[in-house]
């Protein structure tokens, strides 16, 4: 698998991460033996890279990695101070029609302590599907923009489930009936959460970066079926 490169300079490489690939091995994914993103990049470039932030294994989209380990903290400081603007797109169950800020603590995977978490959610499009999904005669979906101001593990997935609009393809926090319908009717089994854009001022070069990641194939299939123009 060749990883798509969105931007590269002497300090960082920005890639479009596919669905279902771990960034690196971890205790929480110890049963997954597939090649990690770092493995694939090392094979592709014959060198090591150092993740500056993270995406869930099932999430696709923009990821920034440092070329020198000592520079990781410089870029992480941008994330910690919210000097990097991140926007995700998600496809969720139900009609979502009003912008809201979700303030709901999320449990830390290591300490089991709940930490403050905040997500801005904005509606982009809706679709009424004539396919029945238990217990209703039809099904409703929304395309939403998600902007996290904190970076908790599974934050977006937990927050959307919290407001009863779980992300399609999420088998941990989502709705199994809608997930199954997307699989059987549309042949789409991946999580519909995509890190779409990333904007920040490069701390070394001073260049303003405005990056965008193309969607996985499943997304374009749904855009066409639902007549969504993105």
56 assigned to active site:
yes
For the residues of the chain, what is the DSSP string, one character each?
A: -PPEEEEE-SSEEEEEEPTT--SS--GGGTT--SPPHHHHHHHHHSS--EESS---TT-EEEEEEESSGGGHHHHHHHHHTT-SEEEEEEEEES---S-EEEE--EE-TTT--EE--EEEEEEEEEEEESS-BTTBSSEEEEEEEEEESS--TTHHHHHHHHTT-PBTT-TTTS-HHHHHHHHHHH---S--EEEEEEEEE-TTT-PEEEEE-PPPHHHHHHHHHHT---
Q: Which of the following is catalytic: 9, 34, 56, 77?
A: 56
List the structure tokens of 218: 């499943």
Q: Which of 89, 81, 95, 85 is nearest to 121 (CA)?
A: 89
- Give the number of other CB atoms < 10 A from CB of residue 172: 12
Catalytic residue annotation? 56
């Amino acid at each position: 698998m060749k990883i798509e490169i969105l931007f590269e300079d002497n300090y960082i490489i920005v890639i479009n991460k596919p669905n279902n690939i771990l960034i690196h091995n971890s205790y929480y994914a110890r049963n997954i033996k597939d090649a990690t993103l770092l493995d694939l990049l090392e094979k592709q470039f014959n060198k090591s890279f150092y993740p500056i932030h993270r995406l869930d294994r099932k999430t696709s989209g923009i990821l920034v990695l440092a070329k020198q380990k000592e520079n990781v903290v410089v870029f992480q400081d941008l994330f910690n101070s919210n000097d990097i603007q991140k926007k995700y797109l998600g496809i969720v169950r139900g009609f979502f029609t009003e912008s809201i800020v979700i303030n709901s603590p999320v449990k830390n995977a290591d300490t089991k302590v709940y930490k403050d978490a905040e997500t801005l959610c904005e509606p982009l499009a809706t679709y009424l599907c004539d396919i029945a999904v238990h217990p209703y005669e039809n099904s409703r979906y929304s395309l939403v923009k998600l902007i996290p101001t904190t970076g908790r593990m599974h934050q977006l997935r937990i927050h959307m489930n919290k407001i009863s609009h779980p992300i399609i393809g999420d088998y941990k926090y989502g709705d199994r009936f809608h997930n199954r319908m997307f699989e059987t009717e549309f042949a789409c089994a991946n999580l519909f959460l995509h890190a779409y854009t990333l904007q920040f001022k490069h701390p070394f070069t001073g260049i303003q970066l405005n990056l965008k990641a193309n969607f996985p194939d499943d997304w374009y299939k749904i855009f066409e079926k639902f007549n969504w123009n993105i």
